Structures are given as C-alpha cells and as structure tokens.
Amino acid sequence: MFNKIVPRSEDYAKWYTQVIRQAEMADYAPVRGCMVVRPYGFALWENVKEQLDSRFKATGHQNAAFPLFIPMSFIEKEAEHVEGFKPELAVVTHGGGKKLDEPLVVRPTSETIIGYMYSQWIQSYRDLPVLINQWANVVRWELRPRLFLRTMEFFWQEGHTAHATHAEAKEETLRILDIYTDFAVNEAAIPVIPGRKSESEKFPGALTSYTIEAMMGDKRGLQAGTSHDLGQNFAKAFDIQYLDANQKQQHCWTTSWGVSTRMIGAIIMAHGDDQGLVLPPRLAPTQLVIVPITPKNREDDKQAVMDAVAKICETLDGVRYHVDDRHDYSPGWRFNEWELKGVPLRIEIGPRDLQKDQVVLARRDILGRDGPRGGKTFVAIDNVANEVKQMLDTIQADMLKRATAFRDANTFEPTSYEAFQEVVEEGFARAWWCGDEACEAKVKEDTQATIRCVPIAQPDGAGHCIVCGAAAEEIAIFARAY
RNA sequence: CGGGGCGUAGCGCAGCCCGGCUAGCGCGUCUGCUUUGGGAGCAGAAGGUCGGAGGUUCAAAUCCUCUCGCCCCGACCA
C-alpha cells in the first residue's frame, strides 16, 4: 500500500493522520474518537513506558492496578474535580441486565478511587509516604478527538502519592517534573519547557499544576506531561488522615502526575518530515534496518550478500535491528518504506559494496544521497557495529539540537501587545504577565493563544504585563496549542 | 453544538451539476515471464448491496425527502 503523503506545509493535520496510518502506528476504531494502536505504534509506546517506568522505580515508586469503574459519588466528592470532569464522563448505568443503584463512572483519572483506598491504608506517619503508579487506560468523552493527541480512550501512567507534609509533596511534584523533562529531552529528543500552569489551565482539584510544554512542527504548543500538587484537597474529600508523632490527626498531602500516549503524537509532530516519521534512536522500535540488495539471477552474489549481512548482525549486540530481506520488493521501495516508518538508520549492502568491503550507512534525519555531509556514508564492513552505535548517538543528539533550534527560532519576545498578537500566531511568545486571569482571557479572545506555562526558569528582575502594562514578576509562555 | 468537506473494489479517487449500453481509473492483490543500488516492466485475472431507507421515472451512483456515519475548522480538553 503506497500513497504519497501530503506535505506538512500544505495541510499539517492531514499529514499527521496520513503518517500515522501509513506508518501503521494506529488506525481509527469503529467507535468515533477511539483508536487502535497497531503493533508498531505500541512498540514505540512500550519503549516510552520502559524508560519512564525505570525512572519511577529508581525514585522509589511501585506499580499497582486500580479498578476501571468508579462509583459516581466518588467523583462528586471534590468540588473542582466534579466540575472539571463531569462533562466528559462515560457513565455505566446498567450491568447484568439491571439498572444499577449507583451509576459507575469509567475512570477519567483515578485520584478519587485511589484516594479512597489510601484513606483505608494510611493510619500513621509511619505509613508515609505512599508512592504508587499505575499504567492504565482512561476514558474522557472528548468533543473533538485526534489520533494520539486526544482520543476518548487513552493509555497513560498515573502516579499518586501521599505525604506527611506539604514540603514533601511539593518536592515529589517537582521531582516528577524533572523526570518528565529528562525523559522528553534525553529520550524523545524533544526540548520541553517545564513550568507552572495558570489557574485557569490547572488540573481540576489541584493546588498547583506543573507541565512540560513542547513545540510541534507547526509551531503549536503541546502539553506533554503534567505533575500536580493536590494540596490537601483530595485528602480532605476522602479523609486520608494519619496520626503524627505527636498523636495528632493530620490530613495527608497528595500528588498526581501523568504522561499519556499523547507523547507518541508529540514525537511524531516534533520530528516528522514530509517523508514520514523520524524516530529518536533511543525510543525507536527498530533502530537500524538492513536492506540487502540482491540481484535475482546471480545466486552466488545473493548468497555472499546474505552471508555478509549475517556476519554483521552477529556484531550488533545492543542494537535493535531488522533485516528486510523481502527480495521481491525493490531496494527503492524498501528504502521509502523504512523512511516512512522513521527508522533512524539504514544499512544498504549489495554486491558492489562487498567488492569494496564496505556498506552504505544512511541516516533518516538527514536525507540526501551522497557526500560526507549528506545522509549517506560508506563504512568499512569490519567496523559497522562501531559506526552504527556512534551514528545512533549522533542522530539522537542532532535531533534534539534540530528541535531546539526550531523552537528557539520560533520563540519571540515581543515588547508591545500589538507585536505580541502577531508573533503568537507563529510560535511561542515569551512575555511578562501580571498574573491576572483577565489578561489571560483577553489574550485567548484576541489570539486563541493560551498560557502554556510560567517557566520554572525565570529571568532576573521584573517587567510590565504585556497585556495591561501593570507590574509583572513572571514571564509566561503564550502559544496556540493542541 | 455551529461552520466546511466527504461516504462508489482492500486503499486513494473519477463519474453526479445535465438520469440512459456491461459503473470506470490508479495503487494494492492473484498468475506467468522478465527484473532489483531510490516506490520495476509486460501480459492476464479476481474483486462493487455506489453508506442506509423511502420516493420520482420506462430507466437512479446521478434528481427529491429522510436518515446514519466519518474527517477537517471552532467552542471544550491530557
């Protein structure tokens, strides 16, 4: 199945969907707003999972599994939480052929049911902290779905922790934000801006929400992960209390944090080009594809090529490679296929290479045929493994550099509201903000842009709000977002 | 829920405005031969309730009415 994909510049939304479907990452399900994650997409997700999971465990978290169904009354216990989630709940009213006494909500997120369980498990300060994560699917009745970015059902991890003090909870919230940032930058090669959400954008029920914000290939923003300081809001709603060392009952301080399959969408949009996906080597399901070029009527040549391939494979320990020996597909066809799928590195090897004891190494992130600076280089056949490993590191680093350069080139620091309105249409606008919700709302009305975050990293000094001119202490990132 | 677009072969589409022979085309699939260093060529073959229901007509993919669904742009959101 081969159809040319539409260039990004022509129709970004169409490009995005075409790439996902043609690269076999995902497909539409028969139910509106739901998607099927196909094996190739899921393999990428599994690598994301593995990287995050190992970081969670290294910081003392354990995995568990909580139920899919939540009693409706649970959702209603925290005022802001209900208000935020009620409109997008899927509710089960019947079971076993009978109407249920109390409707069950298909979890949109699990603070409530986990909070309920924590209230039973936590008695003493000695029980704290509780550090639990779960990998799960959740459902939100979204009005306008989009593959990976916003589907009605999506996959994610949600961490839920309980602490004795607010200081500890804050520390946890920021520790996770660091983990997310580290993951995004060093594994996904996506430069993200860690920061705080504004009041209007924060998680329903949180005291403070933190986020990592990324820029996509069309210069729009994407929230790629969130970490919430829930204060004592859920502890109070669910009665999560402990007896402290002075024999006093105290409410716990809780946090929650999540990264979803949206991260896959971020990877696609941060790195993809008109040829298809470009996957960062550290997460790519296949890091290296070997394409043997074997003339049909020369069995001895074919055998020699395949022997050389087998020999190379023996040296590739630690590399996720695949040999595409579909000899009935032409080399060009196979090249294009793997480029569409974003495999970071390709080895081309044919009889002509064998004569010179070399192979062709072609990198996905730099297309172009020839020359030492192009995407293709010749590499001595004895040294393939070393070159491959080095090249994978180089690609990983270059992808991050390229994405960072792109983001920086499209980040502006306007000094007047007029200039602000213009630049926010074509990238990130960094500007002073007084903190007033009215100014935030005005920006949204005038430009459709929202505050993506108030970055953790702030410049020295103070300035004047880009909207109202009042004294401002913080810089905010404004952008149009998904 | 508002605005736009679309449902015809596995996929992508033309045909519809202006009704008329057996509903076409490209890709893919199957068979055979020739091919393989950037999406191979030739020959042959299979594959269709034209989204659904009703209506108009001698005759409907095409016109009318109703209906279902999907995609895109907004409002809402990880």
Q: What span, in angstroms and rounded, lies between the C-alpha atoms of A329 and A17?
A: 26
Q: Which domain holds residue A465?
A: 411-479
> Which of A83-92, A276-285, A313-322, A457-466 is predicted least confidently?
A83-92
- Specify the pLDDT at position A1: 44
User: Are residues A307 and A204 part of one domain?
Assistant: no
User: Are residues A298 and A262 part of one domain?
Assistant: no
User: Are residues A353 and A231 part of one domain?
Assistant: no
- Specify the pLDDT at position A374: 65
User: Are residues A94 and A16 part of one domain?
Assistant: yes
Given a cut of 70, is residue A141 above it in pLDDT? Answer: yes
User: Are residues A377 and A252 part of one domain?
Assistant: no
Å separating the CA of residue A25 from the C1' of nucleotide B61: 34
> Which of A226-240, A289-303, A305-319 is predicted least confidently?
A289-303
Tokens in use for A386? 């070393």
User: Are residues A299 and A353 part of one domain?
Assistant: yes
Asked if residue A244 is part of any domain, the answer here is yes
- Specify the pLDDT at position A373: 54
Of A6 and A262, more confident: A262
User: Are residues A295 and A418 part of one domain?
Assistant: no
A294 CA: nearest nucleotide by C1':
B36
Taking only the tens place, the pLDDT of each residue in A1-26 is: 456 788 898 889 889 999 999 999 99
A226 CA: nearest nucleotide by C1':
B78
Å separating the CA of residue A336 from the C1' of nucleotide B45: 29
- Specify the pLDDT at position A206: 96
- Specify the pLDDT at position A5: 84
β-sheet with A153-163: strand ranges across: A62-63, A130-139, A153-163, A253-260, A221-229, A208-215, A192-196, A450-455, A474-479, A428-433, A411-412
> Which of A143-147, A351-355, A390-394 is predicted least confidently?
A143-147
Percent of chain A with pLDDT over 70: 98
**Nucleotide B13: nearest residue by CA–C1'?**
A3
Taking only the tens place, the pLDDT of each residue in A434-444 is: 999 999 999 99
Q: How many residues does chain A have?
A: 482
**CATH code of A474's domain:** 3.30.110.30
A369 CA: nearest nucleotide by C1':
B38
- Residue A229 φ then ψ, to 5°: -90, 110
Given a cut of 80, is residue A371 above it in pLDDT? Answer: no
User: Are residues A224 and A180 part of one domain?
Assistant: yes
Q: What is the mean pLDDT of chain A?
A: 94
Q: Are A403 and A365 in contact (CB under 8 A)?
A: no
**CATH code of A90's domain:** 3.30.930.10
- Specify the pLDDT at position A3: 63
Å separating the CA of residue A16 from the C1' of nucleotide B10: 22
Taking only the tens place, the pLDDT of each residue in A383-420 is: 999 999 999 999 999 999 999 999 999 999 999 999 99
Asked if residue A282 is part of any domain, the answer here is no
The stretch A83-100 carries a mean pLDDT of 92
Q: Are A292 and A323 in contact (CB under 8 A)?
A: yes
A34 CA: nearest nucleotide by C1':
B70
How many domains, chain A? 3
pLDDT-derived band at A136 (thresholds 50, 70, 90) equals very high
A332 CA: nearest nucleotide by C1':
B38
**Residues of chain A by 3-state class (helix, strand, coil), percent to 5:** 40, 30, 35
User: Are residues A166 and A294 part of one domain?
Assistant: no
User: Are residues A183 and A243 part of one domain?
Assistant: yes
Of A108, A101, A217, the closest CA to residue A156 belongs to A108
Asked if residue A283 is part of any domain, the answer here is no
Measured CA distances, A199 to A359, A435, A436, A478 (Å)? 56, 9, 10, 14
Tokens in use for A101? 């006494």
Q: What span, in angstroms and rounded, lies between the C-alpha atoms of A328 and A245?
A: 74
Asked if residue A110 is part of any domain, the answer here is yes
User: Are residues A315 and A263 part of one domain?
Assistant: no
Å separating the CA of residue A91 from the C1' of nucleotide B66: 31
pLDDT-derived band at A32 (thresholds 50, 70, 90) equals confident
Å separating the CA of residue A147 from the C1' of nucleotide B64: 38
- Specify the pLDDT at position A296: 79
pLDDT-derived band at A53 (thresholds 50, 70, 90) equals very high
Given a cut of 50, is residue A70 above it in pLDDT? Answer: yes
Asked if residue A359 is part of any domain, the answer here is yes
Asked if residue A7 is part of any domain, the answer here is no
pLDDT-derived band at A370 (thresholds 50, 70, 90) equals low
Nucleotides of B under 7 A from a protein CB: 1, 10-12, 26-28, 35-40, 69-78
Å separating the CA of residue A327 from the C1' of nucleotide B31: 19
Question: A249 — alpha (psi -120 to 50), left (phi > 0) or beta?
Answer: beta
- Specify the pLDDT at position A134: 98
